[in-house]
Chains A and B, each alone.
Chain A
Amino acid sequence: MSPRTTTDSVLVTGAALLGEDLRDVLVLDGVIAAIADAGTLAADPRAADVRHVDGTGLVLLPGLVDLHTHLREPGREDAETVLSGTRAAAAGGFTAVHAMANTTPVADTAGVVEQVWRLGRDAGWVDVFPVGAVSVGLEGTQLAELGAMATSAARVRVFSDDGKCVHDPVLMRRALEYVKAFDGVVAQHAQEPRLTEGAQMHEGVVSAEIGLRGWPAVAEEAIIARDVLLAEHVGSRLHVCHLSTAGSVEIIRWAKSRGLPVTAEVTPHHLFLTDEHARGYDPVFKVNPPLRTEADVEAVRAGLADGTIDIVATDHAPHSREDKDCEWDAAAFGMTGLETAVGVVQAAMVDTGRMTWADVARVMSANPARIGRVDEGPTAQGRPLAVGEPANLTLIDPAVRAVVVPREQATQSENSPYRGAELPGRVVATFLRGRATVLDARPVAPAGATAFDGADA
Chain B
Amino acid sequence: MRHLLSTADLDRAEAVVVLDTAAQMAATQSREIKKLPTLHGRTVVNLFFEDSTRTRISFETAAKRLSADVINFSAKGSSVSKGESLKDTALTLQAMGADAIVIRHQASGAPHLLAHAGWVDAAVINAGDGTHQHPTQALLDAFTLRRHLRPGLGEDLAGLRVAIVGDVLHSRVARSNVHLLHTLGAHVTLVAPPTLVPVGVEAWPCEVSYDLDATLAAAPDAVMMLRVQRERMSGAGGGFFPSPLEYARRYGLDGARLRMLPDHAIVLHPGPMNRGLEISAEAADSPRSVIVEQVANGVAVRMAVLYLTLAGSSASAPIEETR
| Residues of A in contact with B (beta carbons under 8 Å apart) | 203-214, 216, 280-281, 322, 325-330
| Residues of B in contact with A (beta carbons under 8 Å apart) | 8, 80-81, 85-87, 105-110, 112-113, 116-117, 129-133, 172, 175, 198-204
Does B175 lie within 8 Å of A211, measured CB to CB? Answer: yes
**What are the nearest 9 A-B pairs in CB distance?**
A211-B132, A281-B109, A208-B200, A211-B108, A211-B131, A327-B107, A208-B198, A329-B107, A330-B80
Closest to A203 in B: B199
Does B112 lie within 8 Å of A207, measured CB to CB? Answer: no
Count chain B CB atoms within 10 A of each CB in A207, A327, A330 and give the residue with the most. Answer: A327
The answer to whether A216 and B199 touch (CB under 8 A), given A209-B204, A210-B108, A327-B105, is yes
Does B130 lie within 8 Å of A214, measured CB to CB? Answer: no
Min distance, Cβ A145 to any Cβ of chain B, angstroms: 32
Set B80, B116, B200, B202: member contacting A329, Cβ < 8 A: B80
Does B201 lie within 8 Å of A281, measured CB to CB? Answer: no
Closest to B203 in A: A205
A212 to B203 alpha-carbon distance, docked (Å): 16
Does A326 lie within 8 Å of B85, measured CB to CB? Answer: yes
Set B107, B109, B175, B202: member contacting A205, Cβ < 8 A: B202
A281 to B126 alpha-carbon distance, docked (Å): 15
A327 to B81 alpha-carbon distance, docked (Å): 9
The interface residues of chain B lying within 8 Å CB-to-CB of A328 are 107-109, 113
The interface residues of chain A lying within 8 Å CB-to-CB of B113 are 281, 326-328
Min distance, Cβ B164 to any Cβ of chain A, angstroms: 15
Does A204 lie within 8 Å of B199, measured CB to CB? Answer: yes
The interface residues of chain A lying within 8 Å CB-to-CB of B107 are 327-330
Set A204, A322, A327: member contacting B109, Cβ < 8 A: A327
Min distance, Cβ A327 to any Cβ of chain B, angstroms: 4
Min distance, Cβ A221 to any Cβ of chain B, angstroms: 15
The answer to whether A209 and B108 touch (CB under 8 A), given A281-B113, A329-B130, A330-B81, is no
Does B85 lie within 8 Å of A214, measured CB to CB? Answer: no
Does A208 lie within 8 Å of B109, measured CB to CB? Answer: no
Does B81 lie within 8 Å of A212, measured CB to CB? Answer: no
The interface residues of chain A lying within 8 Å CB-to-CB of B203 are 205, 208-209
The interface residues of chain B lying within 8 Å CB-to-CB of A325 are 87, 117
Does A326 lie within 8 Å of B87, measured CB to CB? Answer: yes
Closest to A197 in B: B238
Min distance, Cβ A273 to any Cβ of chain B, angstroms: 18
A207 to B200 alpha-carbon distance, docked (Å): 7
The interface residues of chain A lying within 8 Å CB-to-CB of B131 are 211-213
The interface residues of chain B lying within 8 Å CB-to-CB of A211 are 108-109, 129-133, 172, 175
Closest to A327 in B: B107
A204 to B202 alpha-carbon distance, docked (Å): 9
The interface residues of chain B lying within 8 Å CB-to-CB of A206 are 200
The interface residues of chain B lying within 8 Å CB-to-CB of A322 are 85
The interface residues of chain A lying within 8 Å CB-to-CB of B108 are 210-212, 281, 328-329
Min distance, Cβ B102 to any Cβ of chain A, angstroms: 17
A211 to B110 alpha-carbon distance, docked (Å): 11
Does A207 lie within 8 Å of B198, measured CB to CB? Answer: yes
Min distance, Cβ B58 to any Cβ of chain A, angstroms: 22
Closest to B79 in A: A330
Does A212 lie within 8 Å of B109, measured CB to CB? Answer: yes
Does B200 lie within 8 Å of A205, measured CB to CB? Answer: yes
Does A214 lie within 8 Å of B105, measured CB to CB? Answer: no
A213 to B238 alpha-carbon distance, docked (Å): 13
Does B199 lie within 8 Å of A214, measured CB to CB? Answer: yes
Count chain B CB atoms within 10 A of each CB in A204, A322, A326 and give the residue with the most. Answer: A326
Min distance, Cβ B211 to any Cβ of chain A, angstroms: 21
Min distance, Cβ B232 to any Cβ of chain A, angstroms: 14
Seed contacts A209-B175, A211-B172, A329-B106; 17 additional CB < 8 Å A-B pairs: A203-B199, A204-B200, A207-B199, A208-B199, A209-B203, A209-B204, A211-B129, A211-B175, A212-B108, A212-B132, A214-B200, A326-B86, A327-B80, A327-B86, A327-B107, A329-B107, A329-B108
Set A203, A326, A330: member contacting B200, Cβ < 8 A: A203
The interface residues of chain A lying within 8 Å CB-to-CB of B86 are 326-327
Min distance, Cβ A76 to any Cβ of chain B, angstroms: 16
Count chain A CB atoms within 10 A of each CB in B80, B116, B172 and give the residue with the most. Answer: B80
Closest to A281 in B: B109
11 contacts between A and B (CB under 8 A): A204-B199, A209-B204, A211-B131, A211-B133, A211-B172, A212-B109, A216-B199, A325-B87, A327-B105, A327-B113, A330-B80
Set B110, B112, B199: member contacting A280, Cβ < 8 A: B112
The interface residues of chain B lying within 8 Å CB-to-CB of A210 are 108-109, 132
A206 to B108 alpha-carbon distance, docked (Å): 13
Min distance, Cβ B226 to any Cβ of chain A, angstroms: 14
Does B200 lie within 8 Å of A209, measured CB to CB? Answer: yes
Min distance, Cβ B186 to any Cβ of chain A, angstroms: 19
The interface residues of chain A lying within 8 Å CB-to-CB of B87 are 325-326
A322 to B109 alpha-carbon distance, docked (Å): 17
Closest to A325 in B: B87
Min distance, Cβ A199 to any Cβ of chain B, angstroms: 12
Count chain B CB atoms within 10 A of each CB in A206, A210, A211, A281 and give the residue with the most. Answer: A211
Set B81, B117, B129, B204: member contacting A208, Cβ < 8 A: B204
The interface residues of chain A lying within 8 Å CB-to-CB of B172 are 211
A207 to B132 alpha-carbon distance, docked (Å): 9
The interface residues of chain A lying within 8 Å CB-to-CB of B204 are 208-209
A349 to B212 alpha-carbon distance, docked (Å): 50
The answer to whether A327 and B200 touch (CB under 8 A), given A211-B129, A211-B131, A211-B175, is no
A206 to B175 alpha-carbon distance, docked (Å): 12
Min distance, Cβ B89 to any Cβ of chain A, angstroms: 11
The interface residues of chain A lying within 8 Å CB-to-CB of B202 are 205
Does B198 lie within 8 Å of A214, measured CB to CB? Answer: yes
Closest to B172 in A: A211
Closest to A275 in B: B200
The interface residues of chain A lying within 8 Å CB-to-CB of B132 are 210-212
Min distance, Cβ B99 to any Cβ of chain A, angstroms: 23
A213 to B132 alpha-carbon distance, docked (Å): 10
The interface residues of chain B lying within 8 Å CB-to-CB of A214 are 198-200
Closest to B111 in A: A281
The interface residues of chain B lying within 8 Å CB-to-CB of A213 are 131
Count chain A CB atoms within 10 A of each CB in B107, B175, B202 and give the residue with the most. Answer: B107
Min distance, Cβ B48 to any Cβ of chain A, angstroms: 15
Count chain A CB atoms within 10 A of each CB in B81, B132, B199, B203 and give the residue with the most. Answer: B199
Min distance, Cβ B174 to any Cβ of chain A, angstroms: 10
The interface residues of chain A lying within 8 Å CB-to-CB of B106 are 329
